[in-house]
Amino acid sequence: MPGFADSFWSGDYAGGLGVLFGKLQQGVIENQQVLTIARMRAEAEDMYGARLGDIAPTTDKMVGGFARDDGASVRKAYEGVRGEMQEASKNHIKIASNIRELVVTPFSRWCDAHEARVQNSQDDLQARIKAHDKQAEVVRKLRSHYFNKCRQVEDLEEENKLAFQDPEKAESASPKITPTPTIKVSDPVDLEEAEPLDIGDQAYPPDAVKKILTQMLNTIKLGEAKVPIIGTYQNVSTGADIVDYLQKYMGASSVSYAERIGQDLVTHGFLRLVGNVGNTFANSSKMNYQWRPKVFQITGIPEKKQSLGRVTSIGSATGTIDSPTVGNMGEMLSAWNPLNNPHPNETPIEKLRRESHEADEKYKAGVRRLDLLRCNLEEAMIDHFKFMERCELDRLKAIKAVILDFSGAISNVIPSLQSTVDNMMLYQETVQPMGDLRYLLENYRTGAFVPRVQIYDNYYNTVDEQTFGVDLEARARADRKRVPVIITTILMFLDNHYPDLEGDEARRGIWLVDVPLGATHHLRNTINTGKAIPREVLERYEIPIVASVLKLYLLELPDSLVSSQTYEIIKTIYLTPDSSTSPQTRISVLQNTLGQLRLANIATLDAITTHFTRLIELTSADEPFIASLAQAIAPCILRPRTESALSMHERHSYRLVRDLFDHKEEIFGELKRANTLTHTLSGGSGRPRAISTDESNRRANTEARNRAIVSKSRASSPAPPHAASTANGRAGNRRDRSTGPAETRFPIQTSPTMVADSHKRVPLLRQSLEVPGSQDALPAAEKTADTNSTSSTHPHLTALPEKPLPSAPAANGTSDPPHPGPNPVPDGHRGRYAAGETQF
């Protein structure tokens, strides 16, 4: 049964958490309901006992009754009834005391602690998700900024290419002409055409910006600021006054958030720093910020200016920043100041390239930080999921114990209520904690654990410096292999370390053990470099962690190994009655479906399936282990495009993995032969033909050859090599036409089936989990084979002989004998994934 850690995941992380904590908060309310029942029952028992205790004193106040009759039998009956009332009062008061001591007091303390645990977990995960989402937004902005810089570089390079004259030659041939100074007249601000502005965490329309600026000018103190040499600035406010206004009127919860709003005002050109270098906003009474003329134009408030007077010198006390002479001088001094330009003598193309490189580095750093936050978030979510699962199970057990104690508090005092107690005992027996937990998972789970990786999207479409989350074909193309190097390296590492483990149980257990996600992420971060994995790195980790990182790599692929586009096809295969009753039909359709995948996916699927089938065969695995293994790796092999409540309960991925285990040779052998047939017909390979100069019978020969290919490629039932013989006495397999239903929902492309090699392979003598392909593991018949032959096939495919295409029949009705099978595996191939190559 899946647990919380594999059931409440969603694409944005918050959806699954919302469902889970909604149910946990529902459990908190259920605890209060149970506690209220116990508390009110105790109060009722207490009141009932008190009322029963009032019966005897009330009757004793009546004089002249049974007290005057000492020996009457009626008095004894009366006194007996009166005594029963007093005993009943004591019993009910004792029941109320027992309920408070055994149920109300301890369970109320436990409920408070449980509610605090749930709330703490919810607050922690919400804070982490908020930080992750915030960093994701930062990464999106950095990516946009980086792409814009790259486009600007490309545009400028194109302009330089199309220019009529080289700019450098033009500068060397003629002196630099100083541009004619121009006077820039500010255009009136049109609020209707302006776009919303981001101030803080909100976007304000132009009308709202006008209201905010008007209120700020009317509320914040405006003054003057004298700067030596430059003059006096009008309409100046201190940073402390602006921050104080933002906290009072704009809801800035902290000083840092108020400083962010002030920085946005500086960025949008509403404020500027005076008396210092730079444009940084800070909460300081010594930092002066001048309201720009743009603000007064927007608000319509008249701008306060210094009255006109004589300007005797630049440094005079009457000189202001509004004076044209002083303003121009300040701009000249600001532009001349070398502190404002750390890259002098820089051409525009060099500046853009530098800014593009800086944007690229910031984008990379942001992606790395986002990936780190995501990994930490997933680790924390799994830890909290497991903790909440234990808490929820403890809560259900606590309710069961409360009902038991509640019934015991009553049954121990009043035997007359035994029937009621029996019913209550029956109710507590019907509480099944595991069943309720299973019901919660089956009805409210949102999805299995499938990480959503934010990869570094390079502008030039390179996948360097990253391995996880990259498209499988792109990663294989970058590695120049059919199978990505990370997969072949891990499978070879496991092949080499299987013999080091003690017993087949330990070898099988590395794929089923629950590895902490933190340990898996530690290895992932170490090898997520886009380069080959050194053997020394894997040696530092335990074998289950290495196996777990392979499963994590497959889960983090953008699409599952068997593409999600084929999920509905595979679903229909297993829902078709003919496919369930006829394995041959189902396997044929699976062959055609898998044949539509990309070669890198087929080769990787073949490598992984071969590894597991060898593990199952060499460890003599039983049916429970095979089922558990298929269930564990099914999400890594095939996942639906969109997880839904219906797809979470489907087992088509599991059935596909079982078919891959049971019919591996048929499926992948057929795929390899189909690929060889296609490659041969396309002219990529094949036996050389003699150059013919006679073209008169070309069409007839072509039709005869096609008929021979079709007749030889009919699906057949492979028979044992010793069970049939050909007409001329040579050993071979029967080629019967397959018998199956003619009608099927899927077009089945028949292709030649496996033909046994004329040289039968000697079976391997399995003593332990030896690595096939090594010289010690080969039988004597294969050790004596020709080791000088070069075979292009993958080591784990050497048992499948490649049969060439049959040529057109000769005039006498015979055809050329098939080529002999491939040579045995050359010495030195310890693992079956040595080079990461396959026959696709």
What b/e readout covers 280-318, taking b as 16+ CB neighbours within 10 angstroms?
A: ebbbeeebbbbbbeebbebbeeeeeebeeeeeeeeeeee
Neighbours of 480 (CB within 10 A): 8
Instruction: State which of 678, 705, 725 marks the end of a domain.
Output: 678
- What pLDDT score does 369 carry? 94
**Does 63 reside within a domain?**
no
**Does 712 reside within a domain?**
no
Neighbours of 699 (CB within 10 A): 9
- What pLDDT score does 11 carry? 84
**Does 828 reside within a domain?**
no
**Does 284 reside within a domain?**
yes
Instruction: State which of 255, 270, 299 marks the end of a domain.
Output: 299
**Does 240 reside within a domain?**
yes
Domain span at residue 212 reads 197-299
Convert 533-593 into a string of H (helix), E (strand) and C (coil): CCHHHHHCCCHHHHHHHHHHHHHCCCCCCECHHHHHHHHHHHHCHHHHHCHHHHHHHHHHH
Neighbours of 343 (CB within 10 A): 9
**Does 53 reside within a domain?**
no
**Does 480 reside within a domain?**
yes
- Residue range 654-666, pLDDT digits in tens: 999 999 999 999 9
- What pLDDT score does 497 carry? 94
CATH no. for residue 667?
1.10.555.10
Going by DSSP bridges, is the β-strand pair 202-204/223-227 parallel, antiparallel, or unpaired? unpaired
Distance separating alpha carbons of residues 698 and 571, to the nearest angstrom:
46
Residues 231, 326: contact at Cβ < 8 Å?
Answer: yes
Distance separating alpha carbons of residues 608 and 833, to the nearest angstrom:
10
**Does 380 reside within a domain?**
no
Q: Residue ranges of the chain with pLDDT lower than 50?
A: 164-165, 169-189, 191-192, 308-328, 331, 335, 684-696, 713-840
Number of domains in the chain: 2
Instruction: State which of 639, 657, 678 marks the end of a domain.
Output: 678
CATH no. for residue 279?
1.10.10.10
Q: Can you list the pairs that 573-578 forms with residues at least 24 positions away whose Cβ atoms lie under 8 Å?
A: 573/746, 574/652, 574/655, 574/656, 576/744, 576/745, 578/741, 578/744
The whole model's pTM is what? Answer: 0.58
